[in-house]
Amino acid sequence: MLNRITNRRRLLGAIASAAAGAAVLPLVAACGSASAPAATQPVASQAQPTTAAGGAAKPTVANQANTSQQKITLRYMDRAGALGEFMRHFSRVYEQRHPNITVKNESASWGDLVTKVATYVAAGTMADVAFQHAALMLPELAAKGVWMDVAPMAKADNLDMSIFYSWALNTCKLGPDNKQVAMPMGVHTGQNNRLMYNVELFKKAGIDPPTDNMSVDELTTLCVSLKQKLPDVWPILLPLDAWTMEGHSRSWKGYLISEDRTKAGFGLAETQAAHHFVYDWINKYKIQPGQQEQQGGQAQLFYNEKLAIAVNCSANIWVGFNDAVKGKFTLGNTIWPSKPSGVIGTVPSADATVVYGKTKYPQESWGLQSLLSSEEASKWAAINPPNMTPGAVIKAWHDPDVWKTNPPYEVDAKWWDTLTTVGNIPVPTNTRQQEFSDTYNNGWQAMAYNTTPFTDPNVQALQKKLQDIMDKPLP
């Protein structure tokens, strides 16, 4: 047994050394800074180490980490706020199970996780383990070999990858030669998929709530009627960002980024049909609030009963819902209408954990990384406040306790069971996702809110800008 563990540690050490050697460093520091940034200060978690609901913790691959008696500290750049609470909780669980390991949490906002990670990598001060959204943060650094390939670690631990949604794993295969450089956590298939509504507002208006059997035109008519009945309430609101509009574009059988990730499709007739319905909701029917009326954001309007229907992924409305609403109203759930096209566009999305390719502690980092993606952590995250999504584990999404605590997740899981395919991630092959999204968001939202005319010349001009970005080389 001791020989097997020793040989395995040597194998993993060799794997980590190879990964570190492949990392392309240093990178150009963000914002042209010549000095190394100060490390984000750790935020102490109040959560106490516990096992998953139902009894003693089951052994996981994390239990095999740190087989020596060496005292080490792992730096973990987790996601700040409520959505990262389970990450900090399982940092404490990991410490409890491995007394020789201390996990130093360095909680970072979404914005810092987007912008500062590249700077830390360039300066050689990157944390051992970090949160990265698989599509919105991961691509550029992943393509440069910065993060450790997890496949050898998973194979060495006999981790069954079939427990995860395959489309979630695919979003993590962005390393050189499509290597899997991350482990998935919370997932969804697009911020266009779900209609979450205030049951009591529809009862007050005397109108039946939306269903997945109606068409988009029927949904529009319903919202017009609701506005007439309740003029102080906005009937519906969907985000206008590239991630959301990609899903809607695919529902109309168009796209912003093609399936092979080489072409921009903003100018396509099908894609424009998806954009025109949103434009009409804002400017013709007046059922979606304009830019000035959205102060506080979608969730706050919905929680404060100023919005009847929120279109988004379930987590963006459900996480924190009970604390925010405190029983004032009931949350209704349905899937976006499939008519008139017959399809609902999907955009695979996964929160993810990466391990820095130059970490001194690859095996211990993998232990924490794999624990965060485990069924144990997935279920705990869902059944404990603030009720984050149950990871990427198929069984956790179908767990009766998860459904009882989180009705929206039952709707998600049952709908995903019907999907035979899920579209590719909308990230250009040259990895310039942020540049593409910023250009699209600025151009499209100006048209949607009528500060720039929504005309064909302006559409084609934006289409050209987007294609020019996709034609650039790797940064």
Please spell the DSSP secondary structure of 278-338, one letter per residue: HHHHHHTS--S--SGGGTTHHHHHHHTTSEEEEEE-HHHHHTTHHHHHTTSSPEEEEEPP-
User: Would you list the domain boundaries of the chain?
Assistant: 2-189+349-416, 194-346+428-470
CA pair distance 401, 223, nearest whole angstrom: 34
Which three-class secondary structure state does DSSP give residue 370? Answer: helix
Task: Give the model's pLDDT for residue 72.
Answer: 96
Task: Give the model's pLDDT for residue 35.
Answer: 30
Closest CA to 359 of 131, 40, 141, 76: 76
Contact (Cβ atoms closer than 8 angstroms) between residue 232 and residue 244: no
Give domain 194-346+428-470's CATH number out of 3.40.190.10, 3.50.50.60, 1.20.1260.10, 3.30.365.10. 3.40.190.10
Alpha-carbon distances, residue 23 vs 27, 147, 185 (angstroms):
10, 7, 24
Strand order in the sheet with 194-198: 234-237, 307-312, 194-198, 331-335
Task: Give the model's pLDDT for residue 267.
Answer: 98
Task: Give the model's pLDDT for residue 68.
Answer: 54
Tell the CATH superfamily of the 2-189+349-416 domain. Periplasmic binding protein-like II (3.40.190.10)
Name the burial class of residue 232, with classes exposed (0-12), middle (13-18) and buried (19+) by CB atoms within 10 angstroms of its CB.
exposed
Query: What is the DSSP-derived secondary structure letter of residue 32?
Result: G
What are the residues whose beta carbons fall under 8 Å from the beta carbon of 422, sequence distance 6 or more? 167, 189, 346, 348
Task: Please give the helix or strand (H or E) that residue 460 lies within, else none.
Answer: helix 456-470
Q: Which residue has the tokens 């912008």?
A: 115
> Per-block average pLDDT, block size 10, for the chain (475 residues)?
37 41 32 32 35 37 53 97 95 98 97 94 97 94 96 96 97 94 97 97 98 94 98 98 97 97 98 97 97 92 98 94 96 93 93 98 98 98 95 98 97 95 94 95 98 98 98 94
DSSP string, 431-455: --HHHHHHHHHHHHHHHHTTSS---
Rg (CA), the chain: 23
Helix boundaries (H) for 138-231: 139-143, 151-156, 166-170, 199-205, 216-229
Show the tokens assigned to 239: 């985000």
Task: Give the model's pLDDT for residue 52.
Answer: 36
Q: Do the domains 194-346+428-470 and 2-189+349-416 match in fold?
A: yes
Give 299's Cβ-side CA count (13 Å radius): 14
